[in-house]
Amino acid sequence: MKKIFYLFLFLICFGCGDNTPVNNCFPGVQMNSIIDLSLPEFSGLLVAGGDSKNTIQGRNVFIFRTGTSSYRAFDRQCPERNCNSLMTFNGVEIICPCDDIKYNYLADGAPKSGEGCNALMYFVTQINSSQLRISR
């Protein structure tokens, strides 16, 4: 019985887990797409500080390049889902035009007020010099 208990304890401590950030304002939103930077619609991502606004798998996504090989991507839908206008990006701020709530992209899309849901952030993984994976 003692061995079963220790085995059970071991499985609980080292079991598999999901490391996807929880965002209750966007239940069920998933993404797994590879984008080709050689396509004209993604040409803005070829330079540091560049960006691209595109529809990927039915979602309006804003992708921007933060350095020589790092990228960030956010969904353009307002987290509170209280309007049909898309969020705008200004420096380090993401702004929902319906309620003027500001989100900080450096803090993974957290609202600057500290209240409410985060903007929906996607993971961006560089596959090679001309391809990125956008996932959630």
Residue 13 in domain: no
At 120, which CATH number? 2.102.10.10
Domain enclosing residue 79, as ranges: 28-135
> In the prediction, which pLDDT does 114 show?
87
Indicate whether 1 belongs to any domain: no
Residue 83 lies in a domain: yes
Identify the bridge partners of residue 60 per DSSP, sorted by sequence position: 55
pLDDT of res. 75:
95
Q: Which two tokens stand for residue 125?
A: 């993984």
Q: What angle do CA 86, 59, 32 make, to 5 degrees?
A: 145
Please give the pLDDT value at position 116. 86
Residue 18, pLDDT score: 47
Per-residue pLDDT of the chain (136 residues; tens, 9 = 90+): 677 656 655 556 555 544 444 567 888 889 999 999 999 999 999 998 899 999 999 999 999 998 888 999 999 999 887 788 999 998 779 999 988 899 998 898 999 998 888 999 999 999 998 999 999 9
For 52, phi then psi, to 5°, come to -155, 135
Residue 15 lies in a domain: no
The 10 Å CB-count burial string (b at 16+, else e) for 60-80 is: ebbbbbeeeeebbbbbbbbbe
Cα dist. 68→42, 46, 107 in Å?
Answer: 16, 9, 20
Q: What is the pLDDT of residue 91?
A: 77
Domain tally, the chain: 1
5 belongs to a structural domain = no
* Single pTM value for the model: 0.79
Contact 112, 93 (CB under 8 A): yes
3 state SS of 123: strand
